[in-house]
Structure 1
Amino acid sequence: MLVPLANAPRDYAWGSRSLIAALEGRDPAAGPEAEVWFGDHPSDPADVEDGSGRTLDAWIADNGVRVSPSGRLPYLLKLLAAGAPLSIQVHPTKRQAEEGFAREASLDADAPRNYVDDNHKPEIIVALSDRFEALSGLRELEATRRLLDAIGAAAAPLRERLGDPEGLRDALGWLLSGDADDTVAAIIAALEEAQSTEFAAELANARYIASIHPQDPGVVVALLMNYVVLRRGEGLFLGAGMLHAYVAGLGVELMAASDNVLRGGLTPKRIDVDELLAIVDPEPGPVPVVLPVAGDRGSRAVESFAVPVSDFRLLRVAVAGEEPAVLHPTGAAIVLATAGEVTVSDGGDTVSLRPGRAVFATPDTAELRFAGDGEVFVAEPGVA
């Protein structure tokens, strides 16, 4: 069975007035549009377009649909539009989330907390804009030392702390604790004159972030991170413990159904430095870019993005001409259109999708057929 879905964009301050609007063929919005959620997450379940006024979680419950052993979808699919940098953040492992949620269970309802559920939040984002900028993980130490040398004497106190990977954890704590405010201010001031052929893009990105978040220690934390530019159709996987922040662009994001976020700068929201340091992975390394693999499920039109988690799987289906694409989903699936116009059929129901619209396929759906001229992304459960 196919169930058409829609949702209103969330108006986080870092959102874009134009990116989601342009995808959907609308004029720019009056205010920021940051994310559109397609799922049954209780914070913002998708709307079911059947005239009943129900949300997807209510529809699933009313119809007795078993989407997973827990009764909820194991994933959350989003459109994400970054008009300004998001907070630098990190997500816990499943065990850390369970322990943290249990630890905070006795807190008063209005008390600040780090864990709003007991789940982990691995995620992948695939660029829809021609250029999607992000910060992902911590840069190799020797390269970061060269970058800090380009900034000059102002960065010397930070450079001295980077003796080994654990030095990165210590440096993060120092920068975010308030003890390094003078060094943070000096580095941000020095960015204006800093020059480097090797790190020109990183320095330009730091200056851009500083223009939006002046004097925020997250500007300097960003200098320790890998700066990456995705081209359309390229993905970025973010596992537990990986420090990251999206900077600019439009993408399709798929994650485990959780809202656990530990923040580390570029935000007015609460930052728990000790908890962030407890879960962050301080090991430097390369950017985990995920390229699509064509020919999934035997169809040339289906591409998959391999991720090392069982909560979800993301597929891209491109159709053109008279030949339909066929997909056999692994369970309850959500199909989101991102280009052109695509007709989705399960052999009984047929739904026509334009960019920004989605449809839920119940877990008993044996086959999905896609026709038309356009592109959709399909979220489905992963394989354990």
Structure 2
Amino acid sequence: MLARLSNAPRDYAWGSTSLIAALEGRAPSGAPEAEVWFGDHPGSPAQVEDGSGLTLDAWLAARATGTGAPDRLPYLLKLLAAGSPLSIQVHPSQDEARRGAAREDAAGIPVDAPERNYKDRNHKPEVIVAVSERFEALAGLRELTATRRLLTALGDEPGLRALRDSLEGDDEPAALRRTITWLLSGDSRDTVATVITALAAARSSEFGPEFDAARRIAAAYPGDPGVVVALLMNHVVLARGEALFVPAGVLHAYLSGLGVEVMAASDNVLRGGLTPKHIDVPELMAIVDATPGPPPFLAPRAVGDGVETFVPGIPDFALWHVSVSGGAERRIPLTGPAIPLAVAGEVTVAGGSGAAVTLHPGEAAFATPDERELVVAGDGELFIAHPGR
């Protein structure tokens, strides 16, 4: 069975006022539109457009009546539109989420409390694929040799020397862990102020994009220590169709652009700056992977003409990327319940049951697990989220 899905954009302050509207071909609402969720997550379940009036979680529960408890989707598919930087954040592993949620439950912390770190017992690995021509992000901690060159290019004021000294040592993860803890602890205000002042005039042939991004971050979050944490991270610019995979423990922040994001169905976030929300520094540092390295790019695997797949190697999700034109058809095998989401043109998606839907940019549908494949035709482009293997 195929059923159309819809949802209202979430109006987080960092959302773009134009990107989702432009994709959907409508006038902007005037409010920030940050994310559109396509899934059964209780935080914002999609509406099933079949006349039932049900959201997808209730719709799945109704279909399971008499056959046992409904299966929750293991993933959540989103459109994400960043007009300004999101918080620097990290997500827990499965074991960390289970232990953290149990600990906070035992302490009597309500799930909706602002100081709560673990909203559920699930991990939250995620993949973001750029839909705009340019998608900007921070992902992972940069190699320290390069970071030391960046800080040298920034200047030689005493506050900068203190930052460089904190990063010295043979154990690079330990040096980064020590430095991030110090920056977020509240004892680094003078250094943070010095770095932000130095950014205003900083120029570098090697680190120009990093300095430009940091200046924009500093303008959005004046005085925030996350500005300096951002300078320790890989600055990434994705072209359309390029992707990042962010596993547990990897610091990241999306800065600007429109993307399709698929993640494990969780709302667990530990924040590390660029936010007015709660930051639990000890818990954050307990789950951060402080190993420096290159950005976590995820290359697609070509499957056939106009078909590629992003497979991060986890059971929660994988993502098909399908382009079609000129009367061609693409047959996409599924491994369970799937959500196709159109991002360009007009595409028709048909299931083996004979049901079909036509999707335009920003429109999505839900394919029940009995649909073993989807046939895509028309002239356009879409992504299909489904469980991994």
- TM-score exceeds 0.5: yes
Are residues 90 and 362 of structure 1, via their aligned partners in 2, closer, same or farther at CA, if it must alter by over 3 Å? same
Match of 1:147 in 2: 150
Q: Which residue of 1 aligns with 2:300?
A: 292
Match of 2:331 in 1: 326
Gaps of at least 5 residues in structure 1 are none
Segments of structure 2 that go 5 or more residues without pairing to the other structure are none
Whether the 8 Å CA contact 1:141–1:165 is kept in 2: the answer is no
- TM alignment of 1:243-322, pairs within 5 A: 243-295=251-303, 299-322=304-327
Q: Normalised by the size of structure 1, how large is the TM-score?
A: 0.97
| Residues 67/274 of structure 1: CA separation in 2 closer, same or farther (3 Å cut) | farther
Q: CA deviation at 1:101?
A: 0.5
Offset of residue 70 of structure 1: 7.4
Counting only pairs closer than 5 Å after superposition, residues 194-205 of structure 1 correspond to structure 2 as: 194-205=202-213
State the SS of the aligned residue for 2:166.
Answer: coil
2:61 and 2:69 in contact (8 A); partners too: no
Runs of 4+ in 1 over 6 A off after TM superposition: 65-70
- Partner-residue secondary structure (3-state), 1:189: helix
1:120 aligns with 2:123: yes
- In the alignment, the residues of structure 2 paired with residue 263 and residue 338 of structure 1 have an alpha-carbon distance, to the nearest angstrom, of 30
Q: How many residues align?
A: 380
Instruction: Note the C-alpha offset of 1:343.
Output: 0.5
Q: Is the counterpart of residue 215 in structure 1 residue 252 in structure 2?
A: no
Query: 1:56-95: CA deviations, max 9, x gaps?
Result: 0111110118999972000000000000000000000100
> 1:291 deviation in Å?
2.2
Equivalent residue for 1:234, pick from 231, 237, 242: 242
- Report whether the alignment pairs 1:60 with 2:60: yes
- Distance in 2 between the 1:135 and 1:359 partners? 31
Q: What letter corresponds to residue 372 of structure 1 in structure 2?
A: G
Check whether the contact 2:311–2:388 (CA below 8 A) recurs between aligned residues. no
Return the offset for 1:52. 2.1
Aligned to 1:362: 368
Provide the rounded CA distance (Å) in 2 between the counterparts of 1:341 and 1:122: 30
Against the structure 1 CA distance between its residues 69 and 245, is the aligned structure 2 distance closer, same or farther, given a 3 Å change threshold?
farther
Q: 1:206, CA displacement in angstroms?
A: 0.4
Determine helix, strand or coil for the equivalent of 1:327. strand
Deviation at 1:318, TM superposition (A): 0.7
TM-score normalised over the length of structure 2: 0.95
Residue 72 of structure 2 corresponds to which residue in structure 1?
A: 72
Q: Is the 8 A contact 1:66 1:363 kept in 2?
A: no
CA contact (8 A) 2:123 2:268 kept: yes
Aligned partners of 1:138 and 1:224 also within 8 Å: yes
Within 2, Cα distance between the matches of 1:93 and 1:177? 24
Structure 2 counterpart of 1:88: 88
State the percentage of identical aligned residues.
Answer: 63
Tell me, in whole angstroms, the C-alpha distance in 2 between the residues paired with 1:86 and 1:67: 42
Name the CA shift for 1:161/1:332 in 2 (closer, same or farther; >3 Å): same
Deviations 1:301-349 (A, max 9, x none): 3210120311100110111011211112111000000000000111311
